[in-house]
Amino acid sequence: MATTTNGINGHHPNGVHTAASSKDFSSFKVNQSRLMDHIHDGCQFGAAWKYGDDPTETGMARLALNDADKAVRQWFTTKAESMGCTVTVDEMGNQFAVRQGKNASAPPVMMGSHLDADSNAPQTQPTGGRYDGILGVNAGLEVLRVLEDNKYVSEGNIGVVNWTNEEGARFPMMAVSSGVWAGAVSLEKAWNLAEVSAGEDGNKKTMKQELERIGYLGPVKCDHSENPFAAHFELHIEQGPILEAEKRRVGVVKGVQAFKWFEIEVSGRDTHAGTTPFYARKDSMLCAAKMIVESNRIAKAAGGLATTGILTQEPGSINTMAHTVHFTLDIRHVEDAVLETIRKECETAFAKIAKDDSEAGCKVEWKELVDSPAVKFHEDCIKAVEEAAEEVCSDLPKTATDGGSLWKHMISGAGHDSCYTNRRCPTSMIFAVTKDGISHNPVEYCSPEDCAVGTQVLLGAVLRFDKRRKF
Amino acid sequence: MATTTNGINGHHPNGVHTAASSKDFSSFKVNQSRLMDHIHDGCQFGAAWKYGDDPTETGMARLALNDADKAVRQWFTTKAESMGCTVTVDEMGNQFAVRQGKNASAPPVMMGSHLDADSNAPQTQPTGGRYDGILGVNAGLEVLRVLEDNKYVSEGNIGVVNWTNEEGARFPMMAVSSGVWAGAVSLEKAWNLAEVSAGEDGNKKTMKQELERIGYLGPVKCDHSENPFAAHFELHIEQGPILEAEKRRVGVVKGVQAFKWFEIEVSGRDTHAGTTPFYARKDSMLCAAKMIVESNRIAKAAGGLATTGILTQEPGSINTMAHTVHFTLDIRHVEDAVLETIRKECETAFAKIAKDDSEAGCKVEWKELVDSPAVKFHEDCIKAVEEAAEEVCSDLPKTATDGGSLWKHMISGAGHDSCYTNRRCPTSMIFAVTKDGISHNPVEYCSPEDCAVGTQVLLGAVLRFDKRRKF
């Protein structure tokens, strides 16, 4: 529509921005009701699992690259283009909506998260909520709207990215598309990922097939060097109970804890529950139960976490011992070195349980499924978030149970796209309060006030980072 | 063919028996190779799960009332009739092969077990061996053969019974047909039992449908008062490791331990494994693991047994706590009162674990699935088995690790048809050595020597009991 001396190109519908370019952004306010309207408007695509009377009281079943995901992608493009953004799509279907600033040729500062919404584990019935991922993308769009409202011209380009298949529920690799962008996952491997459950035609389709089917196999290389960012900021629900319990409002996320996933196999013998005295038993279930209890004790003592979410047995009969039990072990710690200590202590403890503490003895074998080292976010990004959080929180009621600050340094317990972007550009995250710590569930909830507070911090952080950029 | 002064009726093919009626049966010897030939001949029907090169090195997949079971039933009838037995079939398909003695109108002494051969738990792939049940029926037939060889005329009738669906693998109720005979299970309920897995036509057939299909819905009432026994003796593999470990040869079974089956439900909350600190967790898997460990400790301290063979969880995701875990608990003890104490102690312990020892707390609920009180077999039957065992063992090498007797008083850990017959007639059981204590498995094994020793004890016990009968 118009060009400006600041390099805003012809795609921008709202004309010349110079009037706002010198504005102090400290007066910019996120529009809470507009933000929520957009969140729920986008959730019309894939809404499922109604749990209350209000139309917004549903969860989401929006698996990556399904028809609902296709629809919300078009919705995202329309919303972004209506603000004059340029929207591009890369080979993994990642969508990049960029609003130009003065130095239009430099890499943009991106606000990213994901619009696929479901549990990040393969399930018969994938269930997700309206905030995990969705809040982050919508917060980014709201920030751009506030810039538009104020005709603000940023130093560099600022944009929003919607990463494909972050959850990994349909195509079983978490954050696979930011992984390809960061060079951590090969394009070939990602494209060939087959969906977990076959579709109605009985075939398991690959990511590439589904990207083509919904028209989102884009022309842009999925590569950080060909499509670089100046920075990546992600607002996300905490997915834990800490902020709520301490009555704080914002998490300033300094990194992501290290985690490892294992599958443990315990082999015993399938003898009869009534005829086999204890001394002759190789009870793999009892052995596994002792290991689970012990892994919890070890992790707790080390200040880490341990969780067993899946346990299966064969043959699975009430009055026959299982000859084989498999269970998963998810261990986490902020420090890689301590995580390794937890793993080693579990290994020693499990071997001892199998040998000495399970009657006639069982065998135990470990298989590593995932090794995700600790992530330390970028100091500049963390600082920008801290300053923004401090400013936003200074206007809020002092609710913290300890009387202290309303924002808190945190370490993310879960993985996010930001773990991958952090490898290639300055990155950090902001956490918003999560009701009861529940995510990956239809009742997942972040109040409108907390959605707005998080978005306001995102705005402040991004504009601070932008102001300090050197070109 | 001929009648005798002793009341042998016309069905007897071998003519007059008076010549043998006064014989001392202490010289009667079971024919080991003939016994084994018949065992393996009958196992041609339903042989499966080959594990070695020898043709007899397979397990069995002979689910009750399937075509293989139909075939072995005809085989049983042919073998019994060839010895002059009268074979009748009752409403549950139970087969009764009776060889007449002097007092032909009095109830017979029966030797019973079952020819269905598979695991006694519903499984995708039911696996059984060649001895559980099969040995007992074949031992009975071999005893009758020895009586024929010796033209022996017993005081009363002596026979063999093949009980239908003892395992409960296809129609999910163990020993259902002896249960109907004993009046413990209604005929209606038994007939209406639906098979666990649907057949090729997609329908789950009932026991009555399958009895009709294979032609074994017989005319005799399935009722202990209309079809009474003088006694019931059952030779069975031990299904445990005790005789083998102590290098003894025979178990004189005085009863069956009490057992109860429960399904325990532990409810927690499905929160994220990385974002939920321990204090906020309601980890139903950890809670269940602690309960399994504790039930083992309690049962061990009380001299009983506790086993968890099945554990399932929802949703079943590596990095999400299970919101619900179900696990089975099988507890056993020789005494009903002690079993009840074990149950109560588990109940108290589980409640404490759920409330105090699982962070933010879980809920626990119990559902009783089976309550099988302790069984005490009949003194007269036990005495007859003891005497026979003493006689048989006196001729065997003294192998017992403690230098003591080769036979041992035992309590059965598993349920058998004899538990039901014991309610209606004097009953006891004999145990034969089981290799590695393994049953319900293709490699289940009892050596030819031990099959013969057990059969010899059965013969001695039955003829002793018969001799002492009052008419």
Q: Judge if A418 and A447 occupy the same domain.
A: yes
Q: Which of A333, A348, A372 is the last residue of a domain?
A: A372
Tell me whether residue A305 is in a domain. Answer: yes
Tell me whether residue B71 is in a domain. Answer: yes
Q: What is the pLDDT of residues A51-98, one digit of tens each?
A: 999 999 999 999 999 999 999 999 999 999 999 999 999 999 999 999
Q: Judge if A385 and A356 occupy the same domain.
A: no
| A301 in contact with B, Cβ within 8 Å | no
Judged by CB atoms closer than 8 Å, whether chains meet at A274 and B330 is answered as yes
The CA distance from B470 to A94, in Å, is 92
Report the SS3 class of residue B331: strand
Residue B409: name the closest of B395, B440, B430, B391 by CA: B430
- Pair type for strands B375-376 and B250-256: antiparallel
| B54 in contact with A, Cβ within 8 Å | no
As a whole number, mean pLDDT of residues A168-187 equals 94
Judged by CB atoms closer than 8 Å, whether chains meet at B319 and A121 is answered as yes
Q: How many CB atoms lie within 10 A of CB B200?
A: 5
| B446 in contact with A, Cβ within 8 Å | no
Q: Judge if A31 and A138 occupy the same domain.
A: yes
Q: What is the pLDDT of residues B311-334, one digit of tens each?
A: 999 988 888 899 999 999 999 999
Tell me whether residue B13 is in a domain. Answer: no
Q: Which of A271, A369, A418 would you mutate first to test chain B, the one with the most B CBs within 10 A?
A: A271
Q: Tokens 């293709």 correspond to what residue?
A: B442
Judged by CB atoms closer than 8 Å, whether chains meet at B305 and A273 is answered as yes
Judged by CB atoms closer than 8 Å, whether chains meet at A328 and B320 is answered as no
Closest B-chain CA to A126: B315
Structural contact between residues A464 and A252, judged by C-beta atoms closer than 8 angstroms: no
Report the SS3 class of residue B412: strand
Q: Judge if A365 and A440 occupy the same domain.
A: no
The CA distance from A321 to B441, in Å, is 12
List of residues 6+ apart from A160 with CB closer than 8 A: A80, A85, A96, A97, A110, A111, A112, A137, A140, A141, A143, A144
* Residue A441 C-alpha, separation from nearest chain B C-alpha, in angstroms: 9
Predicted confidence at residue B199, as pLDDT, reads 79
Residues of B in contact with A277 (CB under 8 A): 240-242, 305
List of residues 6+ apart from B265 with CB closer than 8 A: B324, B325, B326, B363, B364, B365, B367
Residues of A in contact with B272 (CB under 8 A): 239-240, 413-414, 437, 439-440
Report the SS3 class of residue B208: helix
Residue B301, judged by CB atoms within 10 A of its CB (0-12, 13-18, 19+), counts as exposed
pLDDT, chain B, mean: 92
Residue A26: name the closest of A457, A345, A379 by CA: A457
Q: Which helix (H) or strand (E) holds A452?
A: helix A448-467
Q: What is the pLDDT of residues B222-235, one digit of tens each?
A: 999 999 999 999 99
As a whole number, mean pLDDT of residues B15-42 equals 80
Tell me whether residue A441 is in a domain. Answer: yes
Predicted confidence at residue A124, as pLDDT, reads 52
Name the residue among A242, A308, A317 with its Cβ closest to that of B121.
A317
Structural contact between residues B436 and B241, judged by C-beta atoms closer than 8 angstroms: yes
Report the SS3 class of residue B220: strand
Backbone angles phi, psi at B445, to 5 degrees: -150, 140
Range of the domain at B174: 18-256+375-467
Q: Which of A319, A353, A372 is the last residue of a domain?
A: A372
Q: Judge if B94 and B131 occupy the same domain.
A: yes
Q: What is the pLDDT of residues A411-420, one digit of tens each?
A: 999 999 999 9
Name the residue among B257, B290, B318 with its Cβ closest to that of A330.
B318
**What are the contacts of B445-449 at 24+ separation with CB within 8 A?**
B445/B129, B445/B130, B445/B131, B446/B131, B446/B135, B446/B237, B448/B32, B448/B33, B448/B35, B448/B36, B449/B32
Tell me whether residue B5 is in a domain. Answer: no
As a whole number, mean pLDDT of residues B365-378 equals 95
Predicted confidence at residue B124, as pLDDT, reads 52
Token pair of B116 as six digits: 């269905």
| B284 in contact with A, Cβ within 8 Å | no
Question: How confident is residue A271, by pLDDT bands cut at 50, 70 and 90?
Answer: confident
Residues of A in contact with B360 (CB under 8 A): none
Q: What is the pLDDT of residues B93-112, one digit of tens each?
A: 999 999 999 999 999 999 99
Q: Is the pLDDT of residue A21 over 90?
A: no
Q: Judge if B275 and B236 occupy the same domain.
A: no
Q: Is the pLDDT of residue B126 over 80?
A: no
Q: What is the pLDDT of residues B167-200, one digit of tens each?
A: 888 998 999 999 999 999 999 999 999 998 887 8
Rounded percentage of chain A residues whose pLDDT exceeds 90: 84
Q: Is the pLDDT of residue B2 over 60?
A: no
Predicted confidence at residue B358, as pLDDT, reads 82
Hey, CA dihedral for A420, A421, A424, A426, is it positive or negative? Answer: negative
Q: Which of B315, B344, B372 is the last residue of a domain?
A: B372
List of residues 6+ apart from B453 with CB closer than 8 A: B249, B250, B392, B396, B432
CB contact residues (below 8 A), chain A span 231-250, against chain B: 238-242, 245
Q: Judge if B311 and B403 occupy the same domain.
A: no
Residue B133, judged by CB atoms within 10 A of its CB (0-12, 13-18, 19+), counts as buried
Predicted confidence at residue A358, as pLDDT, reads 82
* Residue A272 C-alpha, separation from nearest chain B C-alpha, in angstroms: 7
As a whole number, mean pLDDT of residues B394-403 equals 96
Judged by CB atoms closer than 8 Å, whether chains meet at B330 and A316 is answered as no
Closest B-chain CA to A244: B280
User: Complex ipTM, two decimals?
Assistant: 0.84
Predicted confidence at residue A432, as pLDDT, reads 98
Residue A183: name the closest of A221, A157, A209, A219 by CA: A221
The CA distance from A73 to A190, in Å, is 20
Question: How confident is residue A322, by pLDDT bands cut at 50, 70 and 90?
Answer: very high
Q: Judge if B329 and B444 occupy the same domain.
A: no
Predicted confidence at residue A370, as pLDDT, reads 87
Rounded percentage of chain A residues whose pLDDT exceeds 70: 93
As a whole number, mean pLDDT of residues A392-407 equals 97
In this predicted model, which residue has the larger pLDDT, A296 or A317?
Answer: A296
Question: How confident is residue A14, by pLDDT bands cut at 50, 70 and 90?
Answer: very low
Structural contact between residues B14 and B20, judged by C-beta atoms closer than 8 angstroms: no
Name the residue among A293, A315, A328 with its Cβ closest to that of B123.
A315
CB contact residues (below 8 A), chain A span 364-423, against chain B: 369, 412-415
Report the SS3 class of residue B114: strand
CB contact residues (below 8 A), chain B span 20-39, against chain A: none
Name the residue among B123, B308, B320 with its Cβ closest to that of A440.
B320
Closest A-chain CA to B327: A318
Q: Which helix (H) or strand (E) holds B349?
A: helix B336-356
Identify the bridge partners of residue A278 per DSSP, sorted by sequence position.
Answer: none
Predicted confidence at residue A10, as pLDDT, reads 35
Name which of A12-16, A125-129, A188-192, B118-122 the model is least confident about: A12-16
Q: Judge if A46 and A182 occupy the same domain.
A: yes
| B119 in contact with A, Cβ within 8 Å | yes
Domain count, chain B: 2
Judged by CB atoms closer than 8 Å, whether chains meet at A288 and B289 is answered as yes
Question: How confident is residue A125, by pLDDT bands cut at 50, 70 and 90?
Answer: low
Predicted confidence at residue B198, as pLDDT, reads 83
Q: Where are the beta strands (DSSP E) in B164-208?
A: none
CATH of the domain at A244: 3.40.630.10
The CA distance from B355 to B349, in Å, is 10
Predicted confidence at residue B20, as pLDDT, reads 45
Q: Give me the amino acid identity at B62.
A: R
Tell me whether residue A1 is in a domain. Answer: no
Identify the bridge partners of residue B106 per DSSP, sorted by sequence position.
Answer: none
* Residue B373 C-alpha, separation from nearest chain A C-alpha, in angstroms: 13
Token pair of A247 as six digits: 């009555």
Q: Spell out a b/e string for A349-367, using b for 16 or more CB atoms within 10 Å of the CB, else e.
A: bbeebbeebbbeebbbeee
Q: Judge if B126 and B216 occupy the same domain.
A: yes
Backbone angles phi, psi at A49, to 5 degrees: 60, 60
Give CA separation, B73 vs A78, B46, B92, in Å.
75, 12, 13
The CA distance from B323 to B284, in Å, is 6
Question: How confident is residue A197, by pLDDT bands cut at 50, 70 and 90?
Answer: confident
CATH of the domain at A288: 3.30.70.360
Q: Judge if A287 and A338 occupy the same domain.
A: yes
Name the residue among A121, A276, A321 with its Cβ closest to that of B318.
A121
Q: Judge if B92 and B235 occupy the same domain.
A: yes
Q: Is the pLDDT of residue B16 over 70?
A: no
Q: Is the pLDDT of residue B237 over 60?
A: yes
Predicted confidence at residue A168, as pLDDT, reads 87
Name the residue among A296, A320, A441 with its Cβ closest to that of B121.
A320
The CA distance from B318 to A138, in Å, is 29
Token pair of A86 as six digits: 């340029």
* Residue B22 C-alpha, separation from nearest chain A C-alpha, in angstroms: 41
| A94 in contact with B, Cβ within 8 Å | no
Tell me whether residue B144 is in a domain. Answer: yes
Predicted confidence at residue B121, as pLDDT, reads 53
Tell me whether residue A11 is in a domain. Answer: no
Q: ∠ at Cα B366 (B361, B368), nearest 5°? A: 170
